[in-house]
Amino acid sequence: MIKLEELTKDYGKGESCTHALRGISLTIEKGSYVSIVGTSGSGKSTLLHILGGMDTATGGKYYFDGQLVSDYSLKQLEDFRRKNISFVFQNFALMNQYSIYENVEMPLIARHIKNRKKLVCDVLERLGISEIKDKKPLKVSGGQQQRCAIARAIVSDSPVILADEPTGALDQKTGSEIIDCFEDIHKSGKTVILITHDMKVAERSERIIRIEDGRITD
């Protein structure tokens, strides 16, 4: 379970200080499917980065399964990310020099997991991209690239999947297919938190959190 108490995040100091988050308090249950919506600059990406342990809050408390993550050192945050979090990015963030297979294998290498081949092949099969596994990302369509990014996120079996505008770079039909994938992931028991501008995408989740000017509005 994720619990935030009066979480704040400031960038800069003094007059040039920007308040990206201004006291966010929320609870996200384990295994839930949540969308965070808001305008550009509202602080939703900052919130996602803090939830994923890629950034730290300026103030407030962040609990994950009862552990106070906001007090973690950088090393502890690394371990926290490795154990609990997987990311899916808007622009896929695939490494173009590697094949689809190698991209999906990467999180397993980072976690020193053996017998990687079976795990990778299974997840590629599940997402319907096993036929393109030897291709480089730039040689496949945007939808296939995002499926690859999702495969990479789920292969390490992290309990929480964080997605930052996962359909932002895709057409409506492909975007809808990608959301189907997230629904499947959610059904398998994972917690899915995604950021989106698209209300159609958000409405398919269990819960919508609106954020404006660093505050939760709904």
Partner 1 sequence: MVSLRLAIDEICVQYKKTVISVLLIFIGSLLAVFAVISYSGVNYAYDSCDRLLVRGIKGTAFVELYDSGYEDIYMFFNDDTKGFIGEVCSLPEVSAFGGCFEFGYDIDAAPELYEIQKHDPDFTDGGYWKVSTMNKNLPAAFKLDIAEGKRPEELDFAKEKQEKEIVYLYLGNAYKDIPIGTEFQDKYGRFIVAGILDGKQEMLDYNLVNGFYEAVSYAKNFDYGIIGITDEPPNTSGLWLSAAEGFSIEQALSAAEKVAEKYGIGLKYTTLQDSYELNMSDSMLLGKYLLRLAWILIPSIALMLICVQATSVLGGLRQYGVLYSLGFSKKNIVMSIVIKNVILCILSLALVLPSALVVGSLYFDDSIKMVFETVMVRNAVPVALFMNILIVCMISAVSLGVLSRYSITELISGGKND
Residue placing its CB nearer to partner 1 in the complex, 144 or 204 = 144
Q: How far is CA 180 from CA 6, 166, 175, in A?
A: 33, 12, 9
Q: Which of residues 73-102 bind partner 1 (CB under 8 A)?
A: 74, 78, 81-82, 87, 89, 93, 95, 97-98
Q: In what order do the strands lie in the sheet with 67-68?
A: 18-28, 2-11, 59-64, 67-68
Residue 128: Cβ within 10 Å count = 13
Q: Does 156 bind partner 1 (CB under 8 A)?
A: yes
Which stretch in 50-58, 61-69, 169-177, 206-214 sits in contact with partner 1 by CB under 8 A? 50-58
Query: Least separation, in Å, of the C-beta of 203 and partner 1?
Result: 26
CB 33 within 8 A of CB 192: yes
Near partner 1 by CB under 8 A: residue from 21, 38, 42, 45: 45
By CB under 8 A, name the one of 38, 60, 107, 166 that touches partner 1.
Answer: 107
SS3 19: strand
Asked if 54 touches partner 1 (CB under 8 A), the answer is yes
Residues in region 56-75 near partner 1 by CB under 8 A? 74
**Which residues in the 161-200 window bind partner 1 by CB under 8 A?**
none
User: What value, to the nearest 5°, has the Cα angle with vertex 120 and ends 52 and 76?
Assistant: 30
Residues touching partner 1: how many (CB under 8 A)? Answer: 24
* Residue 42 interacting with partner 1 (CB under 8 A): no
User: Side-chain half-sphere of 40: how many Cα atoms within 13 Å?
Assistant: 1
Amino acid at 136: K
Residue pair 176/29 in contact (Cβ under 8 Å)? The answer is no
CB of 97 to partner 1, least distance (A): 4
User: Phi and psi (nearest 5°) for 61?
Assistant: -130, 145
Q: Which residues in this chain contact partner 1 in the complex, by CB under 8 A?
A: 11, 45, 49, 52, 54-55, 74, 78, 81-82, 87, 89, 93, 95, 97-98, 106-107, 109-112, 152, 156
